[in-house]
């Protein structure tokens, strides 16, 4: 689960480094505390760099920039999730086909 949230955070931040933690929370459907915890973990791992805008009217505004390691990790997570989603797709496709066969037998 943490890998999935980390992947989604990295993907969203790559698209918009200025997105707020509240926006991330809303987008991901997780608590603001969870987003903050995950962002700190990603910064500690060296996958993100947090830049504070001291001249910004909102002194707590940050831009979260993916580091080269962060870009590599996002790509690695994307490959893993693609494999997982493809396996889920194949399983569901097989299940739908089986249900279709059962349905056609019931009609006979």
3-state secondary structure of 16: coil
Reported pTM: 0.70
| Class in CATH terms, 2-107 | mainly alpha
- Per-position DSSP letters for 19-77, written without gaps between them: --HHHHHHHHTS-HHHHHHHHHHHHHTTSEEEEE-TTSSSTT-EEEEE-HHHHHHHHHH
Q: What is the mean pLDDT of each successive set of 10 residues along the chain, which is 108 residues long?
A: 87 91 95 94 92 59 86 92 93 92 71
The residues spanned by each domain of the chain are 2-107
């Amino acid at each position: 689960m943490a890998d999935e949230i980390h992947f989604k955070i990295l993907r969203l931040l790559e698209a918009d480094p200025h997105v707020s933690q509240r926006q991330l929370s809303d987008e991901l459907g997780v608590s603001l505390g969870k987003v903050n915890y995950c962002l700190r973990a990603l910064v500690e791992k060296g996958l993100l760099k947090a830049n504070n805008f001291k001249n910004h009217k909102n002194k707590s505004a940050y831009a979260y920039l993916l580091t080269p390691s962060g870009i590599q990790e996002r790509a690695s997570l994307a490959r893993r999730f693609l494999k997982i989603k493809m396996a889920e797709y194949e399983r569901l496709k097989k299940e739908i086909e089986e249900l279709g066969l059962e349905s056609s037998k019931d009609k006979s």
